[in-house]
Amino acid sequence: MRVSDRSKALGNWGEQKALMLLTRAGFQLVRDLNAEVANHPFADVFAARGPEKYIVGVRTRNKNTAAGPLNSPYNVCTKGVDLSWLQSRYDAHLACLALQVDVEAQLFSAFFATLAQVNESGIRYSIPMTAKATVSYECLARSEHDPSIRLEWTNQKVLIH
């Protein structure tokens, strides 16, 4: 499977999984923004919990890089991009949901945070995904098994004998 096809398939799985995870975590009015506007800018999901509303960018990645170490951080968008119009349009906080996927074990973890929480200095908004960083996020899933995770989404080179 080509890298772009693999990444797209993994991303599509993550966006669908995000809808279920947010609902399970007590969010309401959860809806897929990409179903309303193809390739919605920044956000993939709208959700509310209590009086707070969120537009959520979903980022799904293999937990480890192809070289082996932890894949961190996940880029959300380039700093300097003005997303205030989105906040105003939806009257909502900007947030992200990061899914770490261990394809070979068919396991995933998921973390929710506002962009204000993950805004780091530098040129990008990025979601640090180290064990130390993720303790400050809301954990929506930790090492959950999901048989719908497909082996072809791996970024590891598979050796055939």
**Kind of pairing, strands 93-102 and 74-78?**
unpaired
Number of helices (H), then strands (E), belonging to the chain: the values are 5, 8
Instruction: Calculate the CA 30 to chain-centre distance.
Output: 15
Residue-level pLDDT at 1: 66
Report yes or no: 134 and 91 within 8 Å, Cβ to Cβ.
no
Averaged pLDDT score across all residues of the chain: 90
Per-residue model confidence as pLDDT tens digits over 71-116: 988 888 777 788 889 999 999 999 999 999 999 999 999 999 998 8
pTM above 0.85, yes or no: yes
In the numeric block, which tokens belong to residue 89? Answer: 């349009």
Per-residue model confidence as pLDDT tens digits over 118-149: 875 454 678 889 999 899 999 999 999 999 99
State which H helix or E strand residue 9 sits in: helix 3-24
Predicted confidence band of residue 158 (pLDDT cuts 50, 70, 90): low
